[in-house]
Amino acid sequence: DIQMTQSPSSLSASVGDRVTITCRASQSISSYLNWYQQKPGKAPKLLIYAASSLQSGVPSRFSASGSGTDFTLTISSLQPEDFATYYCQQSYSNPWTFGQGTKVEIK
Amino acid sequence: EVQLVESGGGLVQPGGSLRLSCAASGFTFSRHWMSWVRQAPGKGLEWVANVNQDESEKYSVDSVKGRFTVSRDNAKNSLFLQMNSLRAEDTAVYYCASHENYAFDFWGQGTLVTVSS
């Protein structure tokens, strides 16, 4: 199975900050990498698919890049509604696996 | 508007069975792969099983192989997860999710399965 490792596991940031989350795969997954946002008690929401494609309706302050084994999600200017947990997920091979999550908290 | 609505969760004893359902609307269900994803209390996300459009391909995570079976009824726009021989570690919120571009593009609100005596 492909292991996905996110860093950091949590971070504290202020509104307006630029935030970067990284995700590393245990083997190359090309660009089969997706990012999700999850708020407490809610279902995850797709933000980014295929490593860098913004899902319809997602604000442009979210961007992502990477290929192979190393990927990043960037929030250019953190907004109050962005405080949540973020997960990366690979769809290169079964079983599709998720990172452990990065919790973005208010500083 | 895309809607995925799960049902069938509840409290079950270890070794018991449950059948989860997911009712889909707002999109052409029969054209999409579908998955079940679960989340144990306070934990991360774990993909459980998926099925292709005509049920000719099905996959599941090793921890549920031989116990869980995914199926679908395209005529009724419904996805199912038959869960047998349930264990405490299967306790989780179970989400159904549709696939697009090799990602889970839409999710249901989830249904809680609690395995406890």
Indicate the SS3 state at residue B31. helix
Q: How confident is the model at residue A44 (pLDDT cuts 50, 70, 90)?
A: very high
- A62: contact with B, CB 8 A cutoff: no
Handedness of CA B98, B103, B106, B111 (dihedral sign): positive
| pLDDT score of A15 | 96
Distance from CA of B97 to the nearest CA of A (A): 10
Return left, alpha or beta for A61; rule: phi > 0 is left, psi -120 to 50 is alpha, else beta.
Answer: alpha
- B3: contact with A, CB 8 A cutoff: no
Whether the predicted pLDDT of A101 surpasses 90 = yes
pLDDT tens column, A62-97: 999 999 999 999 999 999 999 999 999 999 999 999
Q: How many A/B residue pairs have CB atoms within 8 Å?
A: 61
Q: Which residues of chain B have pLDDT under 50?
A: none
Whether the predicted pLDDT of A107 surpasses 90 = no
Cβ neighbours of A5 in B, within 8 Å: none
